[in-house]
Amino acid sequence: MTQDPIGRVVATELKPSTPHQFYFWTARESAVGIGAIVRVSAGGRTVYGVVTDGSAYSDLSTPMMDVLGADGDPASPPAPSARSEIRLYLASVLRQEPAEPLQPVPIGPVHLATDQDVALALRMEGYTVGERATGIPVGVYAAGGLESPVSLDCDFLLGPEAAHLNISGVSGLATKTSAVEFLLTSIFQAFPAHKGSVAAVCFNVKGPDLCFLDQPAALGAADRSLYERMGLAAEPFGDVRYFAPFRPDGVNLNTLRTNEALAANTEPLVWGLREVLDFAEVVMNKDDVDAKADAFIDFLAERVVGREFYDPSLRGKAFQVQSFADLDEFFRAIFDFMEALGKGGEVWRTHHVATIRKVRNRLSNISTRSKGLVTDDGGVNDLPWGAFRDRSVQVIDVAGLDPLAQDLVFARVVSKLREHLERRDLGVDHVVVFVDELNKYAPVDGPDTYVRKMLLDLSERGRYLGLVLFSAQQFRSQVQRRVVGNAGTAVFGRMDMDELATPQYSTLSPATKIKLATLPKGELMLRHPHFTQPIFVRFPRPAVMTGREGVERFPPSAELPFADAVARQLRSLDRRVQADAVRRAVEGRREDDVRRALAATRRSRPDDPFAYFVSVLGRRVEAERVMSPRRGIPAVAAPEDPYGP
Amino acid sequence: MRCRKRLIATGMAPADGLPASLTLHDDDAVIRPARLLEDPTLRTHALGESVPFDEPVAFLDGTQRMELLGYAGTAPVALVEIRAAVRQRVRGLFTTAIRERQVYLLGRRSALAAFGEPVEGVEALELPEGPAHPFRDLAEIRRTADRVRGNLELSAADAFRRVNAGWLVIDGSLSGSPTLAEDSRAIGIVKGHTTLPFDGADLEQYLHLPPAHRSSFFEPTPGYRPVVAWALRLWPWEGRDLFHGLVRLEVAPANGTPERADAISRAIMAERLPVSGGPQWDRLLYGTHTVQQYLRAE
Ligand SMILES: Nc1ncnc2c1ncn2[C@@H]1O[C@H](COP(=O)(O)OP(=O)(O)OP(=O)(O)O)[C@@H](O)[C@H]1O
Ligand SMILES: [Mg+2]
């Protein structure tokens, strides 16, 4: 506190001090810069401000004088005297003490903020100290050799007061994904016990980005000291589960995390008919899911799928519809029945044949475009609904999925999270959902998709449930405004100048924009409800392995031949399983049967997975020999159908 | 236009208007013949490139501000605030080394008596008696202010000398002060030319001095306090006016050698830059300008 002032407030008629901003000048060489936090104490009043603009000028009355002096030669030797010159800064008020009466900033000496000043300026004393503190370190404010920790208030980050975080910035330089990874680390370590438990669900939408959250990073001394300064341990996530759909072959995983060393916590994400039917709305074109189609889908969901359905007009034996294949059999029976009726055979159980066709095409479209995620044959492997563990991360790798299937994954996962949190039976009290490349899922224009509506709903109502959205995108202007607008905390990395020229950023000074446009990696600008002005912080590299390094250290294994891929799957359940034995067991079997046996093994988690697998394989093959060979689900052509072949 | 062409055709020097820096008081303008100390007859010396001082240099200047308070009957009473400062330059940057300030109450005896005791911090100063014309008193006030300012500048120079032996550049003549007139590290820069040292062909040579040249040095007022002086042209004048960029330098007799005169001239030439700006930019050195700025801001 005894440091010398670095500047003095100046107020003139043209540049007056006001309650919200003030000017001050400094020596030519001073540590002040755009974003610096300063303190003015004078006349019984203490004001904290952040520098938002600066100017410098000399006593030169007109540029012509300089030309004359240099004799028109820019290379002429320097003059013996340096011109008198001023460094004038504009600061925006962060806080005034006392707060009332609110008055213009007094004229007085200006000091660079100390740790304590930073805490007061950002009102952090209200939530970072005491028994029920709610601070979550987000970085350090660095200026003039000082590194002051800055914390967010988790009541405003994870609810209930406010929630959600959005981060923008250009590709590769803005460190968006890294910032979210770091913040999750910080939340997991600093989230206070009195606030309960927290878990994360991350969608990996791009390459290997989030594929190695459980692997340590090799951090340099500077990064380590930043962790230390914030009281955090630089460790990877301890409890991570990876979910990836299969490739279309149904046995190789569709992810870059296929190195065998990582198999133990990498598992398939497989959904069946039931899971899809509940979210049929997602994948139907909104315009053509009319009431009639809805009614038929409801009929299928309530009366047919997953139960015994008997209709003597269709066939003598009851239907057991568990899978897409079963469903197709059911549809065929309906069409056969109506064909047999000939003219007049246009309605079955009040449902018109066109509606039935449409629903069948949509559903078959899902199973084709989501091949690998949606199984034909009932075997399901899903997130641990109801058994989420505190401080666990579930990463769902959708990077290789068709957009339609990605939408389905988003919609179902978020809806299930919501459902469970509403019923308070998810296993944790708070879930952070991380959606990277948000502009793809909630674009500013384009159709009002189910996913976009869902993200909006999440951003509007999630905070009451403990369902929190962390999202990232390059250009905030390309995301639906209400989704980003509902984020209580907004973060900005290196920004694009064109983006900064859009109206959303009109409140930023030109100097702040320049700073944003040239921000180095690892520095961010924050808006948070407690901070009256945007604040710049530095954060360390995440303590987890980057995607790029991960794929070098753990090269994805080549797509395996069918039998070997099956062996790999079984070995992830039991390391003792021998590839040769699996190969022999699978030899000559139909792939569908093998997949089914594999799914069954995964589902029941037996003590001896291989033995169980072989037994299921044997039984099912016997059982199915009597049935006609499955043919997948060929789409039925209907001329008015945009999805038809 | 034809007149101007004709003037150029006859070999006369065209001007670009009245010398801006001059307030012409023709009654002040005199030719006071000087005694040449260098060369048998007046000539010009080419200086070549400028060579800046290679050590710290200080600049001294003063300002005055007059406020007419009112009249005692018909006799004016004025408040005059004078300031002087020395700013020293080290590696291109200036810091203030000395600053002085005084406030005087000026008026004729009767007027001061009518005012009564001057307020604290203000010194009363009586004007010489004379005809009671208010204009005459005002002119007298201005003259007195000039004089006390000169004194304050000298006392600032003395104060600086007590703590610093480096170069001191003074705005004005050295000959007003016995100590400065003998100070071998003091340089007086005289920007006004109401008194000229030569006439006839010598005057023409003196006032047609080419840029980056100096005149032979001379003793400006023989018989008075001896100093060595010469003219120096800082900027090309042709096409402007005779006085453009012309200054008279004054130094102590100890510096009265051709080598010293050349060296000091080259150093002062370097002080043309940066250009100070304002109407006197062709003659006002930047260092002196910063002293004025400082005094005005204070
Ligand atoms: N705190 C940090 N300090 C310095 N560099 C960092 C920091 N965090 C991350 N980086 C580096 O910045 C680079 C980009 O990071 P990241 O992938 O997070 O950016 P991104 O904004 O998500 O990019 P994209 O838009 O392409 O997804 C990485 O190479 C990473 O190593
Ligand atoms: Mg990224």
Looking at residue A257, its pLDDT comes to 94
Check whether residue B211 and residue B295 sit in a common domain.
Answer: yes
Cβ(A418)–Cβ(A458) under 8 Å? Answer: yes
Distance of CA B153 to the CA centre of its chain: 12
Is A31 part of the contact surface with chain B (CB cutoff 8 Å)? no
Query: What is the predicted pLDDT for the residue at A15?
Result: 94
Instruction: Please give the average per-residue pLDDT across B78-100, as a whole number.
Output: 94
Tokens of A535: 């604040």
Residues of A in contact with B52 (CB under 8 A): 80
pLDDT of residue B179: 92
Do B132 and B190 lie in one domain? The reply is: no
Q: Decide which of B139, B164, B189 is a domain's last residue.
A: B164
Instruction: For residue A420, give both structure tokens.
Output: 């469970």
Q: Does pLDDT of B295 surpass 60?
A: yes
Q: Which of the ligands is closest to the CA of residue A541?
A: 1
Asked if the structure places residue B18 within a domain, the reply is: no
| B279 and B189 housed in the same domain | yes
Examine the pLDDT at B20 and tell me if it is beyond 70: no
Q: Is residue B49 domain-shared with residue B189, that is, in the same domain?
A: yes
Average pLDDT, chain B: 90
Residues forming a β-bridge with B250: B188, B229
Cβ atoms of B86 and B156 within 8 Å: the answer is: yes
- Residue B72 shares a structural domain with residue B148: yes
| CA–CA dist A54, A546 (Å, integer) | 38
Q: Establish if B121 belongs to a structural domain.
A: yes
Same domain, B263 and B117: no
Nearest-CB residue to B277 (from A60, A70, A82): A60
pLDDT at position A29: 86
Of B94, B274, B278, the CB nearest to A69: B274
Q: Which of A81, A83, A85 to mutate to test the interface with B (most CBs of B within 10 A)?
A: A81
User: Looking at B112, B131, B164, which one is the last position of a domain?
Assistant: B164
Same domain, B51 and B77: no
Question: What was the pLDDT predicted at A632?
Answer: 37
Whether the CB-CB separation of A74 and A99 falls below 8 Å is answered with: no
Residues in chain A with pLDDT < 70? 1-2, 283-289, 376-379, 619-645
Whether a cis peptide bond, with omega within 30° of 0, leads into A98 is yes
Is B16 domain-assigned?
Answer: no
What is the number of domains present in chain B?
2
How is residue B220 written in tokens? Answer: 């400006």
Residue of chain B nearest A71, judged by CA positions: B235
How far is ligand 1, taken at its centre, from the CA of residue A322, in Å?
Answer: 45
Question: In whole angstroms, what is the distance from residue A400 CA to residue B227 CA?
Answer: 93
- 3-state secondary structure (DSSP) of residue A93: strand
Portion of chain B with pLDDT greater than 70, in percent: 92
Closest partner residue to B290 (CB to CB) among A62, A79, A84 is A84
Confidence of residue B19 (pLDDT cuts 50, 70, 90): low
| Distance from the alpha carbon of residue A176 to the mean position of ligand 1, in angstroms | 6
Are residues B241 and B210 part of one domain?
yes
What residues in chain B have their Cβ under 8 A from chain A's Cβ atoms? 52-53, 57, 89, 92-94, 270-275, 277-278, 281, 286-287, 289-290, 293
Q: What is the pLDDT of residue A645?
A: 34
Q: Note the pLDDT of residue A624.
A: 35
Question: What pLDDT is recorded for position B12?
Answer: 67
Q: Among B136, B164, B192, where does a domain finish?
A: B164
Within a domain: B12:
no
Rounded CA gap, A385 and A416, in Å? Answer: 8
Same domain membership, residue B179 and residue B102: no
Evaluate whether residue B86 is within a structural domain. yes
For chain B, give the secondary structure using H, E and C.
CHHHHHHHHCCCCCCCCCCCCCCCCCCCCEECCCEECCCCCCCEEECCCCCCCCCCEEEEEEEEEEEEEEEECCEEEEEEEEEEEEEEEECCEEEEEEEEEEEEEEECHHHHHHHCCCCCCCEEEECCCCCCCHHHHHHHHHHHHHHHHHHHHHHHHHHHHHHCCCEEEEECCCCCCCCHHHCCCEEEEECCCCEECCCHHHHHHHHCCCCCEEECCEECCCCCCCCEEEEEECCCCCCCCCCCCEEEEEECHHHCCHHHHHHHHHHHHHCCCCCCCCCCCCCCCHHHHHHHHHHHHC
Q: A61 to chain B: nearest residue by CA?
A: B277
Ligand 1 test: best mutation among A181, A478, A519, A521, most atoms within 8 Å of CB?
A: A521
Q: What gap in Å lies between CA A539 and CA A523, rounded to an integer?
A: 6
Within a domain: B236: yes
Contact A600, A606 (CB under 8 A): no
Least confident of A23-37, B10-24, B127-141, B271-285: B10-24
B4 inside domain: no
Alpha carbon B213 to its chain centroid, in Å, reads 20
Tell me the pLDDT band of B181, cut-offs 50, 70 and 90. very high
Quick one: B107 and B174 in the same domain?
no
Same domain, B134 and B72: yes
For B72, the domain range is 63-164
Interface predicted TM-score (ipTM) = 0.77
pLDDT in tens, B101-155: 999 999 999 888 888 877 888 999 999 888 888 888 888 999 999 999 999 999 9
Question: In this predicted structure, what is the pLDDT of residue B186?
Answer: 97
- Residue whose CA lies nearest to ligand 1 atom number 19: A175
Q: B33-69: per-residue pLDDT in tens?
A: 999 999 999 999 999 999 999 999 999 999 999 888 8
Rounded CA-CA distance A377/A360 in Å is 17
Write the pLDDT tens digit of every residue in B204-222.
999 999 999 999 999 998 8
Per-residue DSSP letters for A389-430? PTT-EEEEE-TTS-HHHHHHHHHHHHHHHHHHHHHT-SSSSE
- In B, minimum Cα distance to A60 occurs at B277
| Pocket lining: A494 vs ligand 1, CB cutoff 6 Å | no
Same domain, B224 and B288: yes
Question: Given CA atoms A629, A631, A636, A641 in this order, what sign does their dihedral have?
Answer: positive
**CATH number for the domain running over A146-269+396-550:** 3.40.50.300
Cβ of A83 and B293 within 8 Å? no
